Structures are given as C-alpha cells and as structure tokens.
C-alpha cells in the first residue's frame, strides 16, 4: 500500500485528526542506513513525526529539521522534511543493539536531552523551538513540544511493526490537535480516545489511515481533507556538492586532491557518493571564477 497521510476535521472544525501510513518511507530508511531492529523501531517513529510536520508546508522552499538528542544508544536522530512530506533521515548509531530483539524506544533515544524543531520558511530567521525530552518515547516528547512551543495541546500515538528479518511491516501515527478556541471538553474527549489505543503497533498494521479515522473518530462529525503522500526523498545532487566544493576554496580543495587523488563526498541521508577528480576541480573553479568576473562586469 502506498504511503499516505489522511486528515479529517472533527466537531465541525474544532479539531483535526491526522492518521499516517509511512511504511514504505520507514523501510527505505532502514535499507539505506542498515538499521538494527531497535534502531528501526525508534527511527521510524521520529520519521512519522517528520512526515506529519512537513505535510503542512505550502512553499517548495519550506524546510523542516527535527533533531532528537537524548543521549541514548542510538545517538542523535535527525529528520529533514520538505513540502508534501518528502523526508529523509540519519542517526548516529544505526546498528545499536544489533543482533538483539527490539529494545524499548527510550533505550535507543534516551531521555537526558532535547528535541529541537527548526522550520525555515525562507524568511530572515527560521523558527527554532527546543524542549527537554520528557521520557524518550517519541509520543510524549512530541506532544510536549507541540503544547509548549506551538501552544497546541496534542495527543500522539506512533506505531511500528517489524517482521522477523527486521524489515518494516507497518509504520504510522495518529495525531489529534485542537483548533484555536476549541472547548476543553472536546480536547479531553479526543485525548481519551488516543490514550485508550490498546496496541498502536497492531493498529497501524491492521488499519489504513482512512479506516483508522472512521473506526475511532468517525462519530465525531468527521470531514475528510485532501490527503498527502509521503516519501523518502534525498535532496542531495552533484550540483549541490559542487557548491560545497567551491565554498571550501581552491587552496584547500587542491591540497586534498594532492593528498588523496580525488575529493569524495558521501551524503549522510542517502549514502550516495560524489567523486571529483583533479580535472573536475579545476573545471569547477574555472567556471566559478568566470561567473564572478561576469558578475563584476555587470
């Protein structure tokens, strides 16, 4: 089934529920980063939150960065997102607890650190919100972030189900958020629904986002909105690597070429390699110099 994010307005627009299936996205992340079972379980949950937070972006240049730094065995987890829930991720120690059965999410993430969210809308300064981790479970930590940093009391449940070989059988999330001036009794009612999910891992494995919303929230005057289709997409390119090369300066680039014969860049998000030879470097700096001269002459 193709990954999909579905939203519905509840109680005549007083609240909104979002249900996410990001199974294929999480599985691609697992394959790219060769994550252990425990790392996959934690990473897929943070990835689901990146899918949710970037779904609302309208501009093609809007950028999301989520950093979870909790001091756990998995190290830092970083998820980046673009318009339309196009996400990518990395983690410091993707092989943590390798060879073991799935350990609790808290052991991978840790709880002695911070959750940082950076939203760049192309303005002078990006939005930057940071909160202390509550317990390293993802659900509680992101709910706390939304409540404190964005003044949106939120109920969040993520779920991940793995196969025996460690591949992702299902991954997703449910997020309920009130609209401004939503009555407290409605907020409490919706929070109770999410709290009463018995086994979110099983729910995401046995429900589509549409059937999940219908079963658990359909009686709350639900009005479906346009869906979004998440995907794991890396934004790296040879052109971007060339710009990094130019920013290094010709002197440093030449020294690396003399020492190693080539300059090699490896993308942290997709592990795609870009290799530049001595001839490539000379051509790149020659073209950059020509562009600067043209600019000066205008």
Taking CA atoms, 22 is separated from 1, 155, 229, 268, in Å, by: 10, 19, 9, 21
Q: What is the pLDDT of residues 254-281, one digit of tens each?
A: 899 999 999 998 999 999 998 999 898 8
Tokens 């007083």 sit on residue: 14
pLDDT in tens, 36-82: 999 999 999 999 999 999 998 887 788 999 999 999 999 999 999 99
The percent of residues above 70 in pLDDT, for the chain, comes to 97
| Residue 295 confidence (pLDDT) | 56
Separation between Cα atoms, residue 25 and residue 44, nearest integer Å: 8
Q: Is the pLDDT of residue 239 over 70?
A: yes
| Amino acid 298: pLDDT | 54
Q: What percent of the chain has pLDDT over 90?
A: 69
Q: Is there a contact between 112 and 48 (Cβ–Cβ < 8 Å)?
A: no
* pLDDT for the residue 236: 84
pLDDT exceeds 70 at position 1: no
Give the model's pLDDT for residue 293.
66
pLDDT at 292: 67
* Mean pLDDT (whole number) for 202-210: 96
Q: Is the pLDDT of residue 175 over 70?
A: yes
Would you say residue 26 has pLDDT above 80?
yes
pLDDT on residue 250: 87
pLDDT over threshold 90, residue 191:
no
- pLDDT of 123 above 80: no
**What is the CATH code of the structural domain delimited by 238-297?**
3.90.1280.10
Task: Provide the CB-side half-sphere exposure for 272 (13 A, CA).
Answer: 12
Name the pLDDT band for 147 (thresholds 50, 70, 90).
Answer: very high
Can you point out the beta strands (E) in 133-220? 155-162, 168-178
Give the pLDDT band of residue 240 (cuts 50, 70, 90).
confident
Please report the pLDDT score of residue 109 as a whole number. Answer: 98
* Of 292 and 195, more confident: 195
What residues does each domain of the chain span?
4-232, 238-297
What's the pLDDT score for residue 144? 96
What is the CATH code for 4-232? 3.55.30.10
Residues with Cβ within 8 Å of 15's Cβ and at least 6 positions away in sequence, in order, are: 9, 176, 177, 178, 179, 182, 186, 187, 190, 220
Cα distances (Å, whole numbers) of residue 265 to 244, 245, 274, 288: 10, 9, 5, 19
Highest mean pLDDT out of 136-140, 256-260, 282-286: 136-140
Mean pLDDT in the chain? 92
């Amino acid at each position: 089934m193709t990954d999909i994010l579905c939203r519905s307005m509840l109680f005549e627009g007083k609240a909104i529920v979002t249900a996410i299936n990001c199974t294929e996205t999480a599985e691609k992340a697992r394959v790219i980063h060769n994550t252990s079972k425990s790392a996959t379980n934690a990473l897929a949950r943070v990835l689901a939150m990146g899918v949710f937070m970037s779904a609302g972006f309208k501009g093609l240049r809007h950028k999301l960065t989520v950093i979870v730094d909790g001091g756990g065995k998995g190290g830092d987890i970083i998820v980046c997102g673009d318009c339309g829930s196009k996400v990518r991720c990395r983690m410091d120690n993707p092989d943590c607890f390798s060879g073991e059965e799935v350990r609790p999410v808290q052991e991978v993430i840790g709880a002695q650190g911070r959750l940082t969210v950076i939203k760049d809308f192309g303005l002078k300064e990006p939005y930057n919100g940071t909160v202390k981790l509550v317990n390293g479970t993802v659900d509680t930590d992101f709910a706390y972030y939304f409540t404190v940093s964005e003044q949106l009391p939120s109920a969040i449940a993520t779920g991940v189900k793995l196969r025996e070989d460690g591949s992702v059988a299902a991954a997703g999330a449910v997020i309920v958020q009130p609209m401004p001036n939503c009555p407290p009794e409605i907020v409490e009612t919706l929070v109770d629904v999410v709290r009463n999910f018995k086994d979110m891992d099983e729910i995401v494995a046995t429900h589509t986002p549409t059937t999940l919303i219908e079963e658990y929230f359909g009686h709350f005057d639900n009005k479906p909105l346009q869906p979004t289709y998440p995907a794991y997409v890396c934004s790296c390119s040879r052109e971007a690597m060339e710009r990094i090369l130019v920013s290094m300066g010709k002197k440093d680039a030449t020294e690396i070429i003399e020492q190693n014969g080539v300059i090699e860049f490896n993308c942290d998000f997709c592990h795609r390699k870009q290799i530049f030879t001595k001839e490539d470097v000379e051509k790149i700096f020659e073209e950059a110099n020509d562009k600067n001269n043209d600019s000066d002459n205008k």
